């Protein structure tokens, strides 16, 4: 039995490894380095293109629950991410290079997987296929998917934050702390007083942006990854109540409260690179330099990578997919990853895992898995395949999509108690679901 997987990104690698685990031979196609996406920097499989964080590991957090479910279902990529973790408080952040290289090794050493460097321009007809070509699917393939799906593709844009060299940060001003002292004090914080914030805000609001192309003018952004200049344009205080909020961040050396704080998160295992949290941007590089250098503590920061913006492509899944990620009109075709409209690194890996398991089950003539909406992965796949949407937009893991708890006003009012119960219910459901293995 054999299948093809298009794209060795987060979803494609997970799908290929799941297929191989179940004895299916896999042709895994990756176009890099022959053709680039514009965002990927290496030719490694499973590259993280922007932030190095996968979000919370706490199972009472929506993204944390998804990770827990993936661990229970045997996700290869989550396991490797945990091995490549760098300190980031309660979140799972990784050394992206160590992670990609470990996935590359798993793939190259797997005798069931043929890793082929080639751009696929048409969905193959003569072999079962998982399409996991991501938000930056090559144009030729996107055109072919559009023809197959009979639906218009939707384009929108995401943005990358600048990364600076740690040794160039001025620690007379910057200080280590995690918000409210939670977890390790692994974030570097650059504090601002009112005057400094206003100066910074003026630079930001007047900074030149990279001109959008005609077809990009109607851009829609991931709400969770909005460019810093877009947030700033919503009002002078929007950033102070968003990524630059000063609450819970006090410099123990001075004990002073700040007006605003820029946080930097560790980006590699050796802790030499730090990214500016929430600073994904489309500003011109000269303007980014001026802006970064206006932040107290970063006056002389060495910028290792500038922020950029990119296209994002996703299919109209409610019309195309079932909750098992199988195409409605071609049963031996599955989609996985960001292209399905599940948004985020963890979500991409999770749908890759489910598509891989389900393709193996399809090839063996077994019933496909459809997960309950009490689980986060079940809720996500149900959401993207629900025909009820009028204007389908990508979604990431969140409590709003899972099945409600039985009516009890007391629980519904207590958010902490509610998420604990939702999480417990999901884990118990998953335990019994997995009793006989998948
Ligand atoms: C610029 C940018 C920043 C992002 N930032 C974040 C973030 O900070 N946090 C977050 O959670 N999510 C982020 N995302 C969203 C998303 O989680 C990631 O893009 C994630 O990598 C998606 O996983 P994937 O497997 O679907 O796609 P990818 O990881 O992109 O993998 C797809 C692979 O398919 C290959 N490919 C494409 N077309 C072809 C073809 N025709 N033939 C063969 N191979 C092909 C590509 O080269 C790529 O390797 C971001 C997305 C973008 C575009």
pLDDT (tens digit per residue) in 91-106: 999 999 999 999 999 9
Domain with 230, as residue range(s), is: 163-310
Q: What is the mean pLDDT of residues 191-198?
A: 96
Asked whether the beta carbons of 356 and 349 are under 8 A apart, the reply is no
Give the per-residue pLDDT at 57. 94
Based on the fold, state whether residues 255 and 122 are members of the same structural domain. Answer: no
Give the least confident one: 7-16, 357-366, 409-418.
409-418
Structure tokens at 137: 């699917």
Distance 436 CA to ligand 1 centre (A): 33
Based on the fold, state whether residues 267 and 209 are members of the same structural domain. Answer: yes
Give the per-residue pLDDT at 185. 81
Residue 211 lies in a domain: yes
Distance 159 CA to ligand 1 centre (A): 13
136 lines ligand 1 (CB under 6 A): yes
Based on the fold, state whether residues 333 and 202 are members of the same structural domain. Answer: no
Report which ligand 1 atom has the smallest distance to the Cα of 7: 34
Based on the fold, state whether residues 84 and 168 are members of the same structural domain. Answer: no
> In which band, very low, low, confident or very high, does the pLDDT at 268 lie, cut at 50, 70 and 90?
confident
Give the per-residue pLDDT at 222. 57
Distance 242 CA to ligand 1 centre (A): 26
Structure tokens at 96: 């992206």
- Neighbouring-strand partners of residue 159: 309
Residue 35 lies in a domain: yes
- Report the percent of the chain where pLDDT is more than 70: 92
- Greater confidence (405 vs 390) lies with 405
Residue 438 lies in a domain: no
Asked whether the beta carbons of 354 and 322 are under 8 A apart, the reply is no
| pLDDT at residue 156 is higher than 80 | no
Asked whether the beta carbons of 39 and 9 are under 8 A apart, the reply is no
Residue 388, burial from CB neighbour count under 10 angstroms (0-12, 13-18, 19+): exposed
* Rounded Cα gap, residues 231 and 211, in angstroms: 18
Final residue belonging to a domain, choices 310, 328, 361: 310
Q: What is the CATH number of the domain that holds 15?
A: 3.50.50.60
Give the per-residue pLDDT at 110. 98
> In which band, very low, low, confident or very high, does the pLDDT at 306 lie, cut at 50, 70 and 90?
confident
32 lines ligand 1 (CB under 6 A): yes
Give the per-residue pLDDT at 219. 54
13 lines ligand 1 (CB under 6 A): no
Give the per-residue pLDDT at 428. 98
- Report the percent of the chain where pLDDT is more than 90: 69
Q: What is the mean pLDDT of residues 146-154?
A: 73
Report which ligand 1 atom has the smallest distance to the Cα of 35: 47
Flag whether the pTM goes above 0.85. no
Residue 132 lies in a domain: yes
| pLDDT at residue 44 is higher than 90 | yes
Give the per-residue pLDDT at 394. 75
Report which ligand 1 atom has the smallest distance to the Cα of 140: 41
Distance 368 CA to ligand 1 centre (A): 26
Residue 57 lies in a domain: yes
> In which band, very low, low, confident or very high, does the pLDDT at 50 lie, cut at 50, 70 and 90?
confident
Residue 158 lies in a domain: no
> In which band, very low, low, confident or very high, does the pLDDT at 215 lie, cut at 50, 70 and 90?
very low
Give the per-residue pLDDT at 256. 84
68 lines ligand 1 (CB under 6 A): no
SS3 letters for the chain?
Answer: CEEEEECCCHHHHHHHHHHHHCCCEEEEEECCCCCCCCCCCCCCCCCCCCCCEEEECCCCCHHHHHHHHHHHHCCHHHHHHHHCEECCCCEEEECHHHHHHHHHHHHHCCCCEEEEECCCCCCCCCCCEEECCCCCCCHHHHHHHHHHHCCCCEEEEEECCCEEEHHHCCCCCCEECCHHHCCCCCCEEEEECHHHHHHHHHHHHHCCECCCCHHHCCCCECHHHCCHHHHHCCCCCCHHHCCCCCCCCCCCCCCCCCCEEEEEEECCCCCCEEEECCCCCCECHHHHHHHHHCCCCCCCCCEEECCCEEEEEECCHHHHECCCCEECCCCCEEECCHHHCECCHHHHHHHHHHHHHHHHHHHCCCCCCCCCCCCHHHHHHHHHHCCCCCCCCCECCCHHHCCCCCCCHHHHHCHHHHHHHHHHHHHHHHHHHCCCCC
Based on the fold, state whether residues 242 and 298 are members of the same structural domain. Answer: yes
Q: What is the mean pLDDT of residues 307-329?
A: 88
12 lines ligand 1 (CB under 6 A): yes
Residue 391 lies in a domain: yes
Based on the fold, state whether residues 387 and 423 are members of the same structural domain. Answer: yes
Q: What is the CATH number of the domain that holds 221?
A: 2.40.30
* Rounded Cα gap, residues 167 and 354, in angstroms: 42
Give the per-residue pLDDT at 208. 93
Q: What is the mean pLDDT of residues 315-326?
A: 94
Q: pLDDT tens across 109-124, in order?
A: 999 999 999 999 999 9
**C-alpha torsion angle, residues 71, 46, 144, 19 (rounded to 10):** -50
Determine if residue 70 is left, alpha or beta; phi over 0 gives left, psi from -120 to 50 gives alpha, anything else beta.
Answer: alpha
Give the per-residue pLDDT at 310. 65
* Rounded Cα gap, residues 368 and 361, in angstroms: 6
> In which band, very low, low, confident or very high, does the pLDDT at 255 lie, cut at 50, 70 and 90?
confident
Compute CA distances 248 → 173, 228, 261, whole Å.
17, 21, 10
| pLDDT at residue 68 is higher than 90 | yes
Distance 437 CA to ligand 1 centre (A): 30
| pLDDT at residue 410 is higher than 80 | no
95 lines ligand 1 (CB under 6 A): no
Give the least confident one: 14-23, 248-257, 324-333.
248-257
* β-pair type (91-94, 2-6): unpaired
Q: Rounded mean pLDDT of the chain?
A: 90
| pLDDT at residue 236 is higher than 60 | yes
310 lines ligand 1 (CB under 6 A): yes
Distance 375 CA to ligand 1 centre (A): 24
| pLDDT at residue 364 is higher than 70 | yes
Closest CA to 207 of 215, 195, 199: 199
- Greater confidence (116 vs 266) lies with 116
* Rounded Cα gap, residues 131 and 293, in angstroms: 42
Final residue belonging to a domain, choices 277, 295, 310: 310
Q: What is the mean pLDDT of residues 402-408?
A: 81
Give the per-residue pLDDT at 241. 95
Q: What is the mean pLDDT of residues 22-35?
A: 98
Based on the fold, state whether residues 319 and 406 are members of the same structural domain. Answer: yes
Q: Annotate 223-238 with b (16+ C-beta within 10 A) or e (fewer).
A: eebbbbbbbbeeeeeb
Based on the fold, state whether residues 134 and 170 are members of the same structural domain. Answer: no
Give the per-residue pLDDT at 211. 72
Based on the fold, state whether residues 372 and 353 are members of the same structural domain. Answer: yes
Give the per-residue pLDDT at 130. 98
Report which ligand 1 atom has the smallest distance to the Cα of 396: 11
Give the per-residue pLDDT at 189. 96
Q: How many domains does the chain have?
A: 2
- Greater confidence (308 vs 172) lies with 172
Tracing tokens 């007006």 back to the chain, one arrives at 259
Residue 216 lies in a domain: yes
Give the per-residue pLDDT at 279. 94
Give the per-residue pLDDT at 182. 79
């Amino acid at each position: 039995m054999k299948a093809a997987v298009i794209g060795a990104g987060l979803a494609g690698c997970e799908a290929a490894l799941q297929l191989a685990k179940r004895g299916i031979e896999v042709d895994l196609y990756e176009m890099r380095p022959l053709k680039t996406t514009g965002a990927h920097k290496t030719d490694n499989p499973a590259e993280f293109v922007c932030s190095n964080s996968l979000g919370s590991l706490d199972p009472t957090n929506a993204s944390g629950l998804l990770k827990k479910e993936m661990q229970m279902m045997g996700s290869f990529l989550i396991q490797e991410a945990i091995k490549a973790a760098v300190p980031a408080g309660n979140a799972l952040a990784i050394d992206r290079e160590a992670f990609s290289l470990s996935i590359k090794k798993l793939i190259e050493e797997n005798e069931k997987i043929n890793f082929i460097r080639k751009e696929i321009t048409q969905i193959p007809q003569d072999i079962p296929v998982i399409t996991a070509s991501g938000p930056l699917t090559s144009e030729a393939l996107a055109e072919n998917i559009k023809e197959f799906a009979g639906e218009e593709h939707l384009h929108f844009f995401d943005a990358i934050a600048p990364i600076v060299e740690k040794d160039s940060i001025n620690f007379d001003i910057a200080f280590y702390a995690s918000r409210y002292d939670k977890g390790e004090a692994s974030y570097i914080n650059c504090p601002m007083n009112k005057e400094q914030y206003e100066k910074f805000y003026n630079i930001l609001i007047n900074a030149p942006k990279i001109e959008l192309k005609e077809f990009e003018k109607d851009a829609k952004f991931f709400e969770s990854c909005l460019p810093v200049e877009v947030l700033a344009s919503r009002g002078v205080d929007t950033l102070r109540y968003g990524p630059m909020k000063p609450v819970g961040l006090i410099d123990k050396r001075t004990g002073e409260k700040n007006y605003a704080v820029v946080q930097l998160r560790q980006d590699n295992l050796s802790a030499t690179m730090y990214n500016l949290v929430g600073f994904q941007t489309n500003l011109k590089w000269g303007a980014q330099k001026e802006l970064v250098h206006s932040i107290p503590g970063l006056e002389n920061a060495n910028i290792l990578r500038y922020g950029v913006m990119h296209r994002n492509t996703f299919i109209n899944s409610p019309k195309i997919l079932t909750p098992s990620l199988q195409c409605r009109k071609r049963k031996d075709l599955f989609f996985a990853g960001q292209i399905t409209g599940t948004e985020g690194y963890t979500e991409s890996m999770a749908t890759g895992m489910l598509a891989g398991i389900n393709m193996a089950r399809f090839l063996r003539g077994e019933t496909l898995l459809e997960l309950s909406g009490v689980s986060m992965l079940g809720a996500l796949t149900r959401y993207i395949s629900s025909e009820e949407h009028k204007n389908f937009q990508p979604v990431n893991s969140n409590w709003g999509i899972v099945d409600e708890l039985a009516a009890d006003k007391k629980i519904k009012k207590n958010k902490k108690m509610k998420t604990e119960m939702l999480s417990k219910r999901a884990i118990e459901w998953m335990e019994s679901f997995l009793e006989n293995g998948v």
